Each structure stands twice: as C-alpha cells, then as structure tokens.
Chains A and B, each alone.
Chain A
Amino acid sequence: MPAHLEIIGARKAFRTPEGGTMTALDGISLKLASAEFLTLLGPSGCGKTTLLRTISGFETLDDGDIVIDGVAVTQMPAHKRPVNTVFQRYALFNHMSVARNVGYALEIAGKSKREITARVGEMLELVGLSGMGKRSVSQLSGGQQQRVALARALAGKPKLLLLDEPLSALDKNLRQKMQQELKSIQRELGIGFVFVTHDQEEALTMSDRIAVLAHGRIQQIDAPSVLYQRPANLFTADFLGESNLLPVTLDGMSAHLADGQSFEVARPSGKATLLLRPEALAVTPPAGPSLSFSGRITQTYYSGKDHQIALDTGQLGPLTALIRTGGTPPEIGATVTLHAPAHGLHLIDETAA
C-alpha cells in the first residue's frame, strides 16, 4: 500500500523580530499509511503546529516536499489540498448556523441543496448532534462546538484530517469521551489522522504511532508501546512518562551500575543509560535474577491505585517507584528495598542524543 502522506526533508525557518531566524522544522521526514492515526507529541514550541500548517498549506516549506496520495502538494495553495483541519480554537463561522458550518465545504464545492442537507444530517449524527443543525454556533457548549468543528472538517470527505490539540479546551471527562469517539470515527471512516496533543496519556491511548518531536526534529516515531518501553534516546525516555535513568558502563558481556550491581547484556563496551520505569520496581523480589535498590523514602503520593514514592538510594541517586502496598501506606523516612527483574531491561546508547 502506498504511503497516504509522505513528508520528505521538510524544513522551515521563521524570521524572528529581533532579526535572527528560528528553525521550526529541521528536516522532518515521515510516512503515514492510509487510515493511520499518527500523533505528534513534543514540548511547546517544537514545531507541531508548524508541521500541521505546512501540510494544510498555510505555511510554505523552505525545503522538502509533501506528497499526498502520490501527488506532490508542496506548491499547492491551501484551498486546493485534499486535507481538512480541526483547529485548536475550532474557528467556527459564528454568523452561520451549525448546519451551514458543517455543509460549508460542500457549499463551496457547489453541491446541490439536497445533497448538502443529506450529508450534513449524516455528519451531525456521526458526532452526536442530530437535530442541532438550526442552532447558532455561539449557542453551543465547548464540547458541542468541538464536534461541529469535527463534523465540518469531515463533511467534505478529506483524504487526511489534521487535528491541532482539538481536545485541549475540554474538561477531563468530556475529553476522555471525545478521545474514544474520535478514535472510533477514525476507524469507521478509514482516513488518516494527524493529531497534535500535549497530553501524553491521550497520545499513548489513541495513536497507532507517535512521532516525538523536539527542536524541529523527529526524535522517534513508533507505536506507543515501543516508544514507552524502548525509547531510542534520552529525550524520548525522559519526555514520555516517568522514568529512572541510571548510567551504566558496558564491558561487552554485562552492564555495571554505579553501586556494583550488574546484569547480562549483549552490547559493545562503552557507556549507556538504563531505563527503569517506576512500575518495574516492586517490593517483592521476582523469580530469577534481579536488581535491588535500598533507600529511604523521601516522598509519597497516593494516586488512587498506587503509591508513588521517591526513594533516596544514596549512591544511585533518587529513584521513583510505583508500588502497590495493599493497604498500609509507605511512610516517609522508612527504609525499603525494591526489586526489578534483571531481564528485558532497556538500555539507551549515550550517543543517541
């Protein structure tokens, strides 16, 4: 299957008011299969919005190409691209009714009244707003406006939908509901979604793949579980979720921690960093070889299911662990020993910055 969207070596720099330049996209390449849900994740200012805007045609690339379904659209003006966007602040047309908003793309395409009405009805039903067509958009709640924006973007049957933090203005419950709905709509329609979010959990639960961006570059692009369990570099490991990063030295056969513990690993000699997710640490030692860490509890947070504790191990520095203690909460100042199985550990090469 050919790639649905292909970005090849995209570069974009903005001129800053101070007279310098700011590189927003620094050579981005990626491919999106049709019907794939790709999320762009990264710290503020890393170029997520800029990347979306170059796909939709509101920014022109300094260098590189954008190909949609085998057609290079790099020089094509925004209104000719087969791509629609759900804007962060929805950007609904306030002077039009809900129905006219949703039918706008069809109205522009010169479709017949009957066709538009039918499609608008279909779209409103899809997003759960049946019967609201006559309302003015300013009479809608934030969540409803969000749905109108989605319906409007989908009505013209785009080949690709771009979503720039579409859920960020919603409260937590509504957001979770919309996450599921978005996902099921995407599956149902079978079109590609490029989704931008700040919310890691949202990215992990919704995406087929996630592209982690920093400084205008893709740090890693992989399935959520791969990204979480086997981050390619320190940035991704640190950015995504909680992590304990422990430096190790390699001698070709095994890896050695600073406190003398070691475990077997097949890697060339050098330096690397061990990634230990907080949930990998447990109070009861696992069967088989394990690593253990003793220390004094310096802080505890109760999250509802687990206790998150901060442990001061002395030589290895602070560690964060998620533990299930079965009722008795860990106490600050107490000394505990935590264990992690010594197999399947993930090492990050220091050189992969």
Chain B
Amino acid sequence: MARRFLTLYGLLFFVFIYAPILLVVVYSFNANTVNMMIWSGFTFDWYRQIFGMETQVTESAIYVDSTDQLYAAIRTSLTVALSTSAFSTICGTALALAVARYRFRLAGFYRTLLMVPMIMPDIVLGIALLIFFITIGMNLSLMSIIIGQSTFLISYVFVTVSARLAEFDTSVEEASADLGATPAQTFRKVTLPGIAPGILGGWLLSFIISMDDLVITYFIAGTGNTTLPIHIWGMLRRGIKPEINAIATLMLLFTLVIAAIGLYFRSRRQK
C-alpha cells in the first residue's frame, strides 16, 4: 500500500516538474497558428521562422522582423557568457585554491562571504549593481553586464571547485615535489588535472547561468545591449506566439548538450 503510494507520488512529482517543459516542446511543433493549445498537425514552421526561412504562416501569427534581432541577442549573450564564465572560472578557481591551501585568519568568514552572492535575491543584486555603476560613473554596456554577472558567478565556480579540492588528496602534490617538481610544475601536472572536473563543472555552470540570467542583467544592461533572455522577455510583452516555444526548445537543447558534455568529461575522468 505504502509502496503504491510512493510510486504514485514519484510519478506525480515528475509530471509536476517536467509537464510544463514537455508542453513547450510539443507546442513548438504544433501547426495551429491561432491557438497553440489545440493540436492541428506537425510543423517545423516555427523553427524555420526563427531562422528567417520561408514559411506558410501568416504575418499576424509571428513576431515581425525578429530574426536579426534574435541573432544579435544570441551573439550578445554568447559574448557575455563566454567572457563572464572565463573570468569567473579563473577568479573562482584561484579563490578556492587560496581558501583551501593557505591558513589565514577569518578563513571561514571569507568562505561564507564568498557564498553569499548565491543566495542574494536577484533583484537586490541587480539594483545594487545598477546603483554602483551609476555611482562610479560607468556607462552601462557589455562590460557592466560582464562585471555584474561575474560578481555572483564567481561564487558558483568557487563552490564547485572547493568541493573538488576538498576531496583532492594533497599527498600527490607532495609526491610530485618529492620527485623534483617545482611548485609551478606540480600545479600544472598534478593539481590542475586533479581538480579539472571541478573547474570544468564550474565553467559550464557559470556559462549556463550567464546565458540564462534575466533579472540582474536586465538592471545593468542599459539600452542597446539585449541579451537573449532580455530579447525573449521583450517578445513576450508583445504576446505569446508559437515561435517562443521553438526558441525555448532550442535553448533547452543547448543546455542539455552542455550538461551532457560536462557529464561526459566527469565520467571519463573518474574511470
């Protein structure tokens, strides 16, 4: 009895989590131009529309002139995500190494301080960053987005790399030094490969979060720097049209691919 109940609970749980996502994926292939909730046949039209290819759908069913803007938004997002994730990965890794390896006063305090940005409400962080940039007289630009996102993405990298460092056996570093390697050689040949899965994980995580961030970025983007989430948000304000489903599905696919790459490298290293 209890077992049945658990099975049912588990089932409902997954439906609860995945049904909305599944719905979006299904709708993205629905040919019905008027009401996406009614299935009227399979089509690739919404995808074709995104990429500016010819479709049979009428003007009213689509967002006008969105393709170029969408491309621009994707380009902006990728630029931001690549820079932010690279910067955050380097800083977060360095911080994790420093906190794990050096004994200094208030180490625990710094550790906590480094985690706080993760639990900080996005709105608060967004407003704070906006006010900060205005105060120091910095123009809102790609740069401000990169700096702003890095302030909390460093925390994510810090946590992932720290977790890996905690289980990293430092005796191999001693073995390396014992065999004549300088500290720099030891770092390159032993430490770095040892914590690489953590660094890779932190990098992918910060990349995905950066691609996805709306609230904080919205505050600090200024005008003319439209990232993909901001662009989609803008489209939604002009009504929900089926194209959105196709974009969402593509983003989902993109994220899954990145996660799969991460898992692949992780499992390969553990072998």
Interface of A with B (CB < 8 Å)? 56-58, 77-80, 83-85, 87, 89, 91-95, 104-105, 108-109, 136, 138, 152-153, 156
Contacts and interface: CB of A to CB of B under 8 A. Distances in A.
Contacts of B194: 94-95
Q: Give the interface SS of chain B, mostly helix, strand, loop or mixed.
A: helix
A223 B154 CA distance: 60
Contacts of B64: none
A78 B175 CA distance: 10
A153 B180 CA distance: 11
B189 to A, nearest CB: 8
A102 B129 CA distance: 52
Which bucket holds chain B's interface residue count? Answer: 20 to 34
Interface string B171-202: 11011111111110110011001100000000
B171 A89 contact: yes
Contact of B179 (A58, A77, A138, A152): A152
B179 A108 contact: yes
Contact of B174 (A87, A104, A152): A87
Interface of B: 169, 171-172, 174-183, 185-186, 189-190, 193-194, 269, 271
B180 A109 contact: yes
B193 A95 contact: yes
Given A95-B193, A108-B185, A84 B172 contact: no
Among A89, A95, A105, residue most surrounded by chain B Cβ atoms (within 10 Å): A95
A104 B172 contact: no
A91 B171 contact: yes
A202 B189 CA distance: 36
Given A78-B177, A91-B171, A109-B180, 4 more contacts: A79-B186, A87-B174, A93-B189, A94-B172
Contacts of A85: 174-175, 178
B269 A108 contact: no
A64 B190 CA distance: 32
A58 B190 CA distance: 17
A79 B172 contact: no
A83 B179 CA distance: 8
A136 B179 CA distance: 19
